[in-house]
């Protein structure tokens, strides 16, 4: 089944995760209420890898920072566009934005992605 994903990566101070979490919960509620199939917000736990550039280097993480890796799943790009338009018109969207964001918006990465491959683990029969 073709799907579409909006993905974003945000560098954030670890001490600001508690400030960010209510925003993430509001986002999850809004996007799923307006039709998104799935909504994920994850924070970096194991970022020291022995290969590749890794998030800390690529995101130029500063001492005390981690990364939020998040994605929202839709049926298609057209579905994404409709859901996002409804979310942006929702009055709860403007009321939940704090006066000062708990992360640096200039360092946020965002994009829409067509799914190339999707796989799920199969249940084993005994």
Tokens 């939020």, residue located: 68
Out of 30-34, 46-50, 104-108, give the one with best mean pLDDT.
30-34
What's the confidence (pLDDT) of residue 109?
96
| pLDDT recorded at residue 2 | 73
112 burial (CB, 10 Å; 0-12 / 13-18 / 19+) is: middle
Q: What pLDDT sits at residue 99?
A: 65
- HSE (CB half, 13 Å, CA atoms) of 2? 7
pLDDT digits (tens, 9 = 90+) for 8-26: 999 999 999 999 999 999 9
- Average pLDDT on 105-125 reads 91
Other Cβ atoms within 10 Å of 121 Cβ, number: 5
- pLDDT tens for each residue of 54-98: 999 999 999 999 999 999 999 999 999 999 999 999 998 876 556
| Residue 85 near residue 93, CB atoms below 8 Å | no
What pLDDT was estimated at residue 47? 93
Burial (CB count within 10 angstroms: exposed 0-12, middle 13-18, buried 19+), residue 24:
middle
The alpha carbons of the chain give a radius of gyration, in whole angstroms, of 16
| 104: Cβ contacts below 8 Å, ≥ 6 apart | 11
Candidate CATH numbers 3.20.20.80, 3.40.50.800, 3.40.50.20, 3.30.70.100; the one for domain 4-114 = 3.30.70.100
pTM for this predicted structure: 0.90
pLDDT of residue 26: 92
What pLDDT, on the 0 to 100 scale, is given for residue 49?
Answer: 87
Main-chain phi, psi angles of 44, to 5 degrees: -60, 130
């Amino acid at each position: 089944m073709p799907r579409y994903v909006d993905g974003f990566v945000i560098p954030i101070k670890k001490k600001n995760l508690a400030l960010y979490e209510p925003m993430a919960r509001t986002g999850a509620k809004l996007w799923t209420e307006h039709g998104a199939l799935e909504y994920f917000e994850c924070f970096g736990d194991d970022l020291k890898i022995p290969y590749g550039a890794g998030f800390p280097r690529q995101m130029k993480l500063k001492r005390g920072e981690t990364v939020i890796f998040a994605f929202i799943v839709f049926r298609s790009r057209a579905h994404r566009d409709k859901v996002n338009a409804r979310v942006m018109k929702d009055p709860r969207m403007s009321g939940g934005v704090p006066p000062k964001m708990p992360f640096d918006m200039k360092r946020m990465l965002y994009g829409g992605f067509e799914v190339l491959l999707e796989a799920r683990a199969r249940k084993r029969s005994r």
